[in-house]
Amino acid sequence: QWANPTFELRRENEGAPLPYDDFATFTLPVSVTGRRFALRSALGAARERGIADSLFVQREAGFDAAREWWALWTAASTATFATAQAARFAELARFDSLRAAEGVIAEASALRTRLEAERAGYHAVQAIAAAGRARAALAARLGVEDPRQLLLAAPPTLEVAALTFDADEAIAQALAQRPDVRAAQAAAREAERRRAAEARGSFADVGVTAGYKGTGGYAAGVVGLFVTPPILNANGGNRERATGEWLLADAERRALEIRVRGEVQAAYDAVRAMDAMAIRADATSALRADELAAAAEAAYREGHATLTETLEALRAVTDVRAAALQATADRHLIRLELRRAMGAPVLE
């Protein structure tokens, strides 16, 4: 910031048997120590910090919305499968009720099947309620007043590409692009420049003055140079306070960079582990869940499987499908966390 000038109108010899001396002077501090330039530089760093803080808040809002979307996708997919599974159990219970009425099976077996159908229906209701809560949470996150207006579209792809970079590259990108890191770095620069400005306040500063003097009917000019030596006040308190603020800002910057390195490394390792687990899961259980359910039901209807075996198979299918859905969401959520830790955009 520039120094404000001073304009002075002064009359001397008022009330004395002497001619008046009238002065009109203009005084401007020069600031040869560079203190004001250091303060202007600190102001620029503060502006950078404010922009980085706003970008950080904006990015976090986007990642929060993405997490809520995947939570809704998982809940809605689970509700869809639970509803279909409840219908399958209901059909099986109806089939056993007819067989019990015909005396083919015992009434206790039909009762057990009906109990399993009621349990599956209860689980479907719970899943539908969970999907409704997830939809309401996403609507609140997006600022949509009516959650029913949200139409859940299918994700662009459920498959994810393998990582093409190592952890060191991810850490380097995070330290260069994350808005919170840039904000901490700008805060440290701002504090350092304010410390430099306060240190320059311990040196003498100068100013110039010029103007008009009228005396004895004559008009003359006035020029001068003034110096403010730090004799009584060497700006010691402000210097110590600025030094403490700089040390604190720099410590917070270093602590954040250490935390960012840990977050990126943990997210990177989690993505690698989840990718390896997803490959094994896809090759073994998740792709055969529907086939197992259809085969178990057909075998029971034809008399080649007992009720206990059929119910256990259908429960296993439910667990497998639920685990597969959660694993898909977790795989994308872990990728999302890696992108957040690296400072990358929400969407690829």
Q: What is the per-residue pLDDT across 188-224, written as a single tens digit (0 to 9) for each? A: 999 999 999 888 888 878 888 898 888 877 888 889 8
Q: How far apart are CA 266 and CA 269, in angstroms?
A: 5
For residue range 222-234, list pLDDT tens digits in order.
898 888 888 888 8
The pLDDT assigned to 324 comes to: 81
Whether 194 and 247 have beta carbons less than 8 Å apart is answered as: no
In this prediction, residues 142-149 reach a mean pLDDT of 87
The pLDDT assigned to 133 comes to: 94
Q: What is the pTM of this model?
A: 0.77
- Work out the pLDDT band at 173, boundaries 50, 70, 90: very high
Other CB atoms within 10 Å distance of the CB of residue 79? 21
| Cα atoms in the Cβ-side hemisphere of radius 13 Å centred on 97 | 10
For residue range 57-94, list pLDDT tens digits in order.
999 999 999 999 999 999 998 999 899 889 988 988 88
Choose among 326, 300, 303: nearest CA to 314. 300
Structure tokens at 292: 């197992």
The pLDDT assigned to 283 comes to: 44
Q: How far apart are CA 206 and CA 204, in angstroms?
A: 7
Strands of 218-228's sheet in order across: 6-12, 21-29, 205-215, 218-228
Whether 338 and 170 have beta carbons less than 8 Å apart is answered as: yes
Choose among 186, 183, 187, 188: nearest CA to 56. 183
- Work out the pLDDT band at 284, boundaries 50, 70, 90: low
| Lowest-confidence pick of 210-214, 250-254, 305-309 | 305-309
- In angstroms, how far apart are the furthest CA atoms of the chain? 138
Whether 176 and 270 have beta carbons less than 8 Å apart is answered as: no
For residue range 253-266, list pLDDT tens digits in order.
999 999 999 999 99
Write the CA distances from 97 to 38, 103, 113, 179, 201, integer angstroms. Answer: 87, 10, 9, 64, 94
Question: 223 - beta bridge partners?
Answer: 210
| Lowest-confidence pick of 10-19, 266-275, 276-285 | 276-285
| Lowest-confidence pick of 82-91, 97-106, 137-146, 287-296 | 287-296
Burial of 120 (0-12, 13-18, 19+ CB in 10 A): buried
Structure tokens at 158: 């459920």
HEC string for 251-314:
HHHHHHHHHHHHHHHHHHHHHHHHHHHHHHHHHHCHHHHHHHHHHHHHHHHCCCCCHHHHHHHH
Give the SS3 label for residue 232: coil
In this prediction, residues 314-339 reach a mean pLDDT of 86
- Work out the pLDDT band at 282, boundaries 50, 70, 90: low
- Work out the pLDDT band at 186, boundaries 50, 70, 90: very high
The pLDDT assigned to 298 comes to: 83
Structure tokens at 262: 């840990």
In this prediction, residues 16-42 reach a mean pLDDT of 82
| Cα atoms in the Cβ-side hemisphere of radius 13 Å centred on 212 | 8
Q: How far apart are CA 159 and CA 137, in angstroms?
A: 26
| Cα atoms in the Cβ-side hemisphere of radius 13 Å centred on 155 | 20
